[in-house]
Amino acid sequence: MTKHTSIHAVLGAALLLTTLSACGDDGGDTTETDPSGATTAPDPTTGGTTDQPTTTTTTTPTTTDPTTDPTTDPTTDPTGGDGGWAFADDPYEAYTQIDRHGAVEAGTAGIAAAQGLGFKMGSDISIRDDYNASNPVEDVAGMWLPEIAESIMFFHAALDDDLMALGLVPATFDESVMQAGPVIIPDAIKYDPTMPTAYPNGRKLTDPVVDITFAAVLLKLGPNQPLSLFADLPLNPPENDVPFLAEFPYLAPPHAP
């Protein structure tokens, strides 16, 4: 493996950064208070704000049998006090952690990248199970730095000549680490309300997160090569094929089978 300027030192320095250079350009902290004292909060589907109206709940006597009337079941009626959603309250210990996905593709493209999806003969991606069972505190401690460094070098070895053929300037290893390190280490979604709201500072459903992450890893970022360069390519769809919802759970309904 080619030796670089102390891989661990460079990756460790990247942990001191909190955002990527040129990390998006749309929106800011959109929480506002109007003169009447009403507060508006960000709308996850647009990055804008939506008014939070004050509601008053009144109790009306009823003789309806609660065992047969669905309006008394908070899991089926939007007026039941919890928006029609029932959430499990099991303790943490009742679950086994099998995945984590705060930083986009950190556990796949960032770990054992040369193995791809693991379909080729003799490939072994079991290390990704170990990664998915670990936690951000272990990321910060440097547990996965060697694997991440190896994956970064793999992508540059495989793609730099293609980037240059397209007239693009690849990042050096050190530049890749400084640009992408704060996003994937630790593997968590970061948000600074004083910075523009766009992935990797927070995440909206409409953010082209994979394109943004790979631009940070592969490109020498600058005015002529912005973080959005891959995302802005015409081959990408301009929006989701099914419109997102305006309220919780915000995700678009699934396609019919």
Query: What is residue 156's three-state secondary structure?
Result: helix
Identity of residue 229: L
pTM comes to 0.65
Mean pLDDT by 10 residues, the chain (257 residues): 44 41 40 40 41 44 46 45 78 92 90 92 93 95 95 97 97 96 92 92 91 95 95 86 91 87
> How many whole angstroms from its chain centre is CA 188?
8
Give the per-residue pLDDT at 40: 40
Give the per-residue pLDDT at 82: 55
Is 183 exposed, middle or buried (CB count within 10 Å of its CB: 0-12, 13-18, 19+)?
buried
Give the per-residue pLDDT at 83: 63
Residue written as token pair 């009823």: 62
Per the CB < 8 A criterion, the answer to whether 176 and 38 are in contact is: no
- With b meaning 16 or more CB within 10 Å and e meaning fewer, what string describes 46-74? ebeeeeeeeeeeeeeeeeeeeeeeeeeee
Residue written as token pair 């998915």: 132
Give the per-residue pLDDT at 32: 42
Give the per-residue pLDDT at 8: 45
Give the per-residue pLDDT at 130: 96
